[in-house]
Amino acid sequence: MKISVVIVTRNRKEDLICSINAYLRQTYPLKEIVVVDNGSTDGTKEEIPKLFPEVKYYWIPENFDIRSIILGVYWSDGEIIWRCDSDSYPESEYAFEQVVDILKKHPEIDIIATENIDVRRDYSVWDWYPLTVSKTNIPDGGYESPVFQGTGAAIRRKVFDTIGGFIGFGFEEYDFAARAIIAGFNIRYFPNIRVLHFASLKERNRPHRWLTTSEQFIRFSWRYFPFFRALGRTILIVLAQLLEGIAKGLKPSILIEGFLLMCYTIFKTVRTERMVPPKDKLKKITMGRSLFLRIIRNYIYMLSSRFKRRKK
Protein backbone atom coordinates (compact mmCIF):
# COMPACT_ATOMS: atom_id res chain seq x y z
CA MET A 1 0.00 0.00 0.00
CA LYS A 2 1.42 3.32 -1.06
CA ILE A 3 0.60 6.48 0.91
CA SER A 4 0.30 9.80 -0.92
CA VAL A 5 0.69 12.81 1.36
CA VAL A 6 -1.31 15.61 -0.29
CA ILE A 7 -0.51 19.09 1.01
CA VAL A 8 -2.27 22.24 -0.18
CA THR A 9 -0.39 25.42 0.71
CA ARG A 10 -0.17 29.15 0.14
CA ASN A 11 2.59 31.47 1.41
CA ARG A 12 3.69 29.19 4.24
CA LYS A 13 7.18 28.33 3.08
CA GLU A 14 8.75 27.77 6.50
CA ASP A 15 5.81 25.72 7.78
CA LEU A 16 5.81 23.66 4.60
CA ILE A 17 9.54 22.91 4.89
CA CYS A 18 9.06 21.65 8.46
CA SER A 19 6.11 19.49 7.44
CA ILE A 20 7.85 17.97 4.42
CA ASN A 21 10.88 17.07 6.55
CA ALA A 22 8.60 15.44 9.10
CA TYR A 23 6.88 13.34 6.44
CA LEU A 24 10.22 12.32 4.96
CA ARG A 25 11.14 11.01 8.42
CA GLN A 26 8.19 8.61 8.42
CA THR A 27 9.71 5.13 8.57
CA TYR A 28 7.15 3.62 6.19
CA PRO A 29 9.04 3.47 2.87
CA LEU A 30 6.25 3.31 0.29
CA LYS A 31 5.16 6.93 0.27
CA GLU A 32 5.19 10.09 -1.79
CA ILE A 33 4.59 13.77 -1.05
CA VAL A 34 2.46 15.88 -3.36
CA VAL A 35 2.34 19.65 -2.82
CA VAL A 36 -0.24 21.83 -4.54
CA ASP A 37 0.68 25.49 -4.21
CA ASN A 38 -2.24 27.92 -4.49
CA GLY A 39 -0.21 30.71 -6.07
CA SER A 40 2.33 31.41 -3.32
CA THR A 41 4.40 34.59 -3.70
CA ASP A 42 6.78 34.12 -0.74
CA GLY A 43 9.46 32.11 -2.53
CA THR A 44 7.83 28.72 -2.06
CA LYS A 45 7.79 28.17 -5.81
CA GLU A 46 11.54 28.74 -6.08
CA GLU A 47 12.79 26.96 -2.96
CA ILE A 48 10.69 23.82 -2.49
CA PRO A 49 11.69 22.12 -5.78
CA LYS A 50 15.36 22.84 -5.03
CA LEU A 51 15.24 21.68 -1.40
CA PHE A 52 13.08 18.61 -2.07
CA PRO A 53 13.55 17.30 -5.63
CA GLU A 54 11.80 14.06 -4.60
CA VAL A 55 8.57 15.92 -3.84
CA LYS A 56 5.90 16.29 -6.52
CA TYR A 57 5.43 20.06 -6.50
CA TYR A 58 2.73 21.84 -8.50
CA TRP A 59 2.24 25.59 -8.56
CA ILE A 60 -1.10 26.90 -9.81
CA PRO A 61 -1.67 30.62 -10.49
CA GLU A 62 -4.96 30.97 -8.58
CA ASN A 63 -5.99 30.28 -5.00
CA PHE A 64 -8.55 27.48 -5.09
CA ASP A 65 -8.27 27.02 -1.31
CA ILE A 66 -8.87 23.50 0.03
CA ARG A 67 -10.55 22.44 -3.22
CA SER A 68 -7.07 22.02 -4.71
CA ILE A 69 -6.75 18.77 -2.79
CA ILE A 70 -8.57 17.01 -5.61
CA LEU A 71 -5.76 18.12 -7.95
CA GLY A 72 -3.23 16.62 -5.56
CA VAL A 73 -5.20 13.37 -5.49
CA TYR A 74 -5.28 13.36 -9.31
CA TRP A 75 -1.51 13.89 -9.51
CA SER A 76 -0.78 11.23 -6.88
CA ASP A 77 -0.77 7.45 -7.30
CA GLY A 78 -1.09 6.06 -3.77
CA GLU A 79 -3.87 3.76 -2.60
CA ILE A 80 -4.10 5.83 0.58
CA ILE A 81 -4.39 9.62 0.57
CA TRP A 82 -3.06 11.35 3.67
CA ARG A 83 -5.05 14.58 3.89
CA CYS A 84 -3.28 17.23 5.97
CA ASP A 85 -2.48 20.93 6.30
CA SER A 86 0.84 22.55 5.48
CA ASP A 87 1.33 23.23 9.21
CA SER A 88 0.64 19.73 10.57
CA TYR A 89 2.25 16.30 10.66
CA PRO A 90 2.16 13.09 12.76
CA GLU A 91 3.78 13.17 16.16
CA SER A 92 5.27 9.69 15.71
CA GLU A 93 7.60 8.68 12.89
CA TYR A 94 5.80 5.33 12.85
CA ALA A 95 2.32 6.75 12.19
CA PHE A 96 2.17 5.61 8.57
CA GLU A 97 3.11 2.09 9.60
CA GLN A 98 0.15 2.15 12.00
CA VAL A 99 -2.16 3.41 9.26
CA VAL A 100 -1.17 0.74 6.76
CA ASP A 101 -1.42 -1.99 9.39
CA ILE A 102 -4.96 -0.90 10.31
CA LEU A 103 -6.18 -0.67 6.71
CA LYS A 104 -4.70 -4.05 5.81
CA LYS A 105 -6.33 -5.73 8.79
CA HIS A 106 -9.65 -3.93 8.35
CA PRO A 107 -10.75 -3.63 4.72
CA GLU A 108 -14.09 -2.29 5.99
CA ILE A 109 -12.39 0.88 7.28
CA ASP A 110 -12.22 3.57 4.60
CA ILE A 111 -11.17 6.69 6.54
CA ILE A 112 -8.96 6.91 9.62
CA ALA A 113 -9.59 9.91 11.87
CA THR A 114 -6.72 10.86 14.16
CA GLU A 115 -6.08 12.83 17.35
CA ASN A 116 -5.43 16.53 16.85
CA ILE A 117 -2.82 18.14 19.13
CA ASP A 118 -2.86 21.97 19.22
CA VAL A 119 0.80 22.87 19.63
CA ARG A 120 0.12 26.60 20.09
CA ARG A 121 -2.27 25.78 22.94
CA ASP A 122 0.23 23.98 25.14
CA TYR A 123 -0.10 20.74 23.20
CA SER A 124 -3.71 20.38 24.30
CA VAL A 125 -5.95 17.79 22.65
CA TRP A 126 -8.72 19.17 20.47
CA ASP A 127 -11.74 17.40 21.94
CA TRP A 128 -13.73 17.10 18.71
CA TYR A 129 -14.95 13.51 19.08
CA PRO A 130 -18.63 13.54 20.18
CA LEU A 131 -18.44 10.60 22.63
CA THR A 132 -16.40 9.85 25.73
CA VAL A 133 -14.10 6.91 24.98
CA SER A 134 -10.97 5.31 26.35
CA LYS A 135 -7.84 6.62 24.69
CA THR A 136 -5.61 3.95 26.19
CA ASN A 137 -7.64 0.79 25.67
CA ILE A 138 -8.58 1.37 22.02
CA PRO A 139 -10.48 -1.35 20.12
CA ASP A 140 -8.59 -2.99 17.27
CA GLY A 141 -10.96 -1.40 14.79
CA GLY A 142 -11.05 2.02 16.43
CA TYR A 143 -14.23 3.93 17.24
CA GLU A 144 -17.05 4.74 14.85
CA SER A 145 -16.82 8.39 13.87
CA PRO A 146 -19.02 10.90 12.00
CA VAL A 147 -16.09 13.00 10.78
CA PHE A 148 -12.30 13.44 10.78
CA GLN A 149 -9.96 16.37 11.27
CA GLY A 150 -8.26 17.84 8.23
CA THR A 151 -4.91 18.22 9.98
CA GLY A 152 -4.27 14.51 9.46
CA ALA A 153 -6.46 11.72 8.11
CA ALA A 154 -5.92 8.60 6.01
CA ILE A 155 -8.49 8.20 3.22
CA ARG A 156 -8.64 5.34 0.74
CA ARG A 157 -8.41 6.60 -2.83
CA LYS A 158 -11.70 4.90 -3.71
CA VAL A 159 -13.51 7.39 -1.46
CA PHE A 160 -12.33 10.30 -3.61
CA ASP A 161 -13.05 8.32 -6.78
CA THR A 162 -16.64 7.80 -5.60
CA ILE A 163 -17.68 11.11 -3.99
CA GLY A 164 -15.18 13.63 -5.36
CA GLY A 165 -13.27 16.21 -3.35
CA PHE A 166 -13.98 18.98 -0.87
CA ILE A 167 -16.59 21.50 -1.98
CA GLY A 168 -15.28 24.59 -0.19
CA PHE A 169 -13.24 25.97 2.67
CA GLY A 170 -14.57 26.08 6.23
CA PHE A 171 -15.00 22.87 8.21
CA GLU A 172 -15.12 21.15 4.84
CA GLU A 173 -14.40 17.78 6.47
CA TYR A 174 -17.96 17.59 7.80
CA ASP A 175 -19.51 17.73 4.34
CA PHE A 176 -16.96 15.30 2.89
CA ALA A 177 -17.55 12.87 5.76
CA ALA A 178 -21.33 13.12 5.38
CA ARG A 179 -21.10 12.31 1.67
CA ALA A 180 -18.77 9.41 2.44
CA ILE A 181 -21.19 7.98 5.02
CA ILE A 182 -24.15 8.34 2.66
CA ALA A 183 -22.13 6.50 -0.01
CA GLY A 184 -21.56 3.61 2.42
CA PHE A 185 -17.99 4.29 3.54
CA ASN A 186 -16.84 3.86 7.14
CA ILE A 187 -14.89 6.31 9.30
CA ARG A 188 -13.02 5.15 12.40
CA TYR A 189 -11.32 7.24 15.06
CA PHE A 190 -7.91 6.18 16.41
CA PRO A 191 -6.78 8.53 19.21
CA ASN A 192 -3.43 6.74 19.43
CA ILE A 193 -2.45 8.22 16.04
CA ARG A 194 -1.60 11.76 17.07
CA VAL A 195 -1.09 14.70 14.71
CA LEU A 196 0.68 17.91 15.70
CA HIS A 197 -1.08 21.04 14.44
CA PHE A 198 0.97 24.23 14.66
CA ALA A 199 -1.90 26.52 13.54
CA SER A 200 0.30 28.83 11.50
CA LEU A 201 -0.74 32.48 11.60
CA LYS A 202 0.36 33.04 8.00
CA GLU A 203 -2.30 33.43 5.32
CA ARG A 204 -5.10 33.53 7.88
CA ASN A 205 -7.59 36.16 6.81
CA ARG A 206 -9.83 36.32 9.89
CA PRO A 207 -12.90 37.95 8.25
CA HIS A 208 -12.71 35.63 5.23
CA ARG A 209 -12.32 32.60 7.44
CA TRP A 210 -15.33 33.62 9.55
CA LEU A 211 -17.46 34.25 6.46
CA THR A 212 -16.64 30.93 4.80
CA THR A 213 -17.18 29.00 8.03
CA SER A 214 -20.56 30.68 8.53
CA GLU A 215 -21.55 29.78 4.99
CA GLN A 216 -20.46 26.15 5.28
CA PHE A 217 -22.23 25.54 8.60
CA ILE A 218 -25.51 26.76 7.12
CA ARG A 219 -24.93 24.87 3.89
CA PHE A 220 -24.31 21.64 5.78
CA SER A 221 -27.50 21.97 7.82
CA TRP A 222 -29.81 22.66 4.89
CA ARG A 223 -28.15 20.09 2.66
CA TYR A 224 -28.58 17.07 4.94
CA PHE A 225 -31.21 17.75 7.62
CA PRO A 226 -35.04 17.71 7.55
CA PHE A 227 -36.67 21.15 7.47
CA PHE A 228 -37.37 21.75 11.16
CA ARG A 229 -34.01 20.34 12.29
CA ALA A 230 -32.26 22.50 9.71
CA LEU A 231 -34.21 25.53 10.94
CA GLY A 232 -33.27 24.86 14.59
CA ARG A 233 -29.63 24.36 13.67
CA THR A 234 -29.69 27.59 11.66
CA ILE A 235 -30.89 29.67 14.63
CA LEU A 236 -28.06 28.27 16.78
CA ILE A 237 -25.45 28.73 14.06
CA VAL A 238 -26.43 32.35 13.32
CA LEU A 239 -26.32 33.27 17.01
CA ALA A 240 -23.05 31.41 17.62
CA GLN A 241 -21.32 32.86 14.55
CA LEU A 242 -22.39 36.41 15.32
CA LEU A 243 -21.16 36.06 18.91
CA GLU A 244 -17.86 34.64 17.66
CA GLY A 245 -17.52 37.47 15.13
CA ILE A 246 -18.11 40.06 17.86
CA ALA A 247 -15.60 38.31 20.14
CA LYS A 248 -13.02 38.40 17.34
CA GLY A 249 -13.56 42.12 16.86
CA LEU A 250 -14.88 41.91 13.31
CA LYS A 251 -16.25 45.10 11.80
CA PRO A 252 -20.05 45.59 11.78
CA SER A 253 -19.98 45.57 7.97
CA ILE A 254 -18.44 42.06 8.04
CA LEU A 255 -21.06 40.85 10.53
CA ILE A 256 -23.86 42.18 8.31
CA GLU A 257 -22.25 40.57 5.26
CA GLY A 258 -22.04 37.27 7.13
CA PHE A 259 -25.69 37.40 8.18
CA LEU A 260 -26.81 38.13 4.62
CA LEU A 261 -24.51 35.41 3.28
CA MET A 262 -26.05 32.85 5.66
CA CYS A 263 -29.56 33.87 4.56
CA TYR A 264 -28.59 33.60 0.89
CA THR A 265 -26.94 30.21 1.49
CA ILE A 266 -30.20 28.79 2.87
CA PHE A 267 -32.12 29.56 -0.32
CA LYS A 268 -29.27 28.50 -2.61
CA THR A 269 -28.75 25.17 -0.83
CA VAL A 270 -32.47 24.31 -0.71
CA ARG A 271 -32.78 25.11 -4.41
CA THR A 272 -29.70 23.31 -5.75
CA GLU A 273 -28.05 20.97 -3.22
CA ARG A 274 -30.60 19.51 -0.83
CA MET A 275 -30.10 15.75 -0.31
CA VAL A 276 -31.61 14.63 3.02
CA PRO A 277 -30.31 11.10 3.70
CA PRO A 278 -32.29 8.18 5.22
CA LYS A 279 -32.68 8.21 9.01
CA ASP A 280 -30.05 5.53 9.58
CA LYS A 281 -27.44 7.49 7.61
CA LEU A 282 -28.39 10.74 9.32
CA LYS A 283 -27.90 9.08 12.69
CA LYS A 284 -24.39 8.04 11.65
CA ILE A 285 -23.64 11.60 10.50
CA THR A 286 -24.60 13.06 13.89
CA MET A 287 -24.07 10.02 16.16
CA GLY A 288 -27.11 11.26 18.04
CA ARG A 289 -25.36 14.36 19.37
CA SER A 290 -26.95 17.80 19.31
CA LEU A 291 -25.41 20.79 17.60
CA PHE A 292 -26.10 22.92 20.69
CA LEU A 293 -23.88 20.77 22.89
CA ARG A 294 -21.12 20.76 20.31
CA ILE A 295 -21.21 24.56 20.04
CA ILE A 296 -21.07 24.88 23.84
CA ARG A 297 -18.06 22.53 23.95
CA ASN A 298 -16.31 24.56 21.26
CA TYR A 299 -16.82 27.81 23.15
CA ILE A 300 -15.65 26.30 26.43
CA TYR A 301 -12.51 25.07 24.69
CA MET A 302 -11.81 28.44 23.04
CA LEU A 303 -12.42 30.40 26.25
CA SER A 304 -10.25 28.10 28.36
CA SER A 305 -7.45 28.35 25.78
CA ARG A 306 -7.59 32.15 25.80
CA PHE A 307 -7.61 32.20 29.60
CA LYS A 308 -4.50 30.01 29.72
CA ARG A 309 -2.68 32.27 27.26
CA ARG A 310 -3.57 35.41 29.24
CA LYS A 311 -2.34 33.84 32.50
CA LYS A 312 1.06 33.42 30.90
DSSP for 22-35 reads: HHHT-S-SSEEEEE
Q: DSSP letter at 171?
A: S
83 forms beta bridges with 6, 153
Instruction: Please give the pLDDT value at position 258.
Output: 95
Q: Are 13 and 42 in contact (CB under 8 A)?
A: yes
What span, in angstroms and rounded, lies between the C-alpha atoms of 277 and 294? 21
pTM for this entry: 0.90
Specify the pLDDT at position 154.
98
DSSP state of 88: E
Q: What was the pLDDT predicted at 199?
A: 80
pLDDT confidence of residue 206: 81
Per-residue model confidence as pLDDT tens for the chain (312 residues): 999 999 999 999 999 999 999 999 999 999 999 999 999 999 999 999 999 999 999 999 988 777 889 999 999 999 999 999 999 999 999 999 999 999 999 999 999 999 999 998 888 898 888 888 999 999 999 999 999 999 999 999 999 999 999 887 777 899 999 999 999 999 999 999 999 998 866 656 788 889 998 999 999 999 999 999 999 999 999 998 998 899 888 999 999 999 999 999 999 999 999 999 999 999 999 987 776 666 666 666 666 655 555 555
Task: Please state, in angstroms and rounded to a whole number, the distance separating the CA atoms of residues 253 and 36.
Answer: 33
Q: Where are the alpha helices (DSSP H) in 67-112?
A: 69-75, 95-105
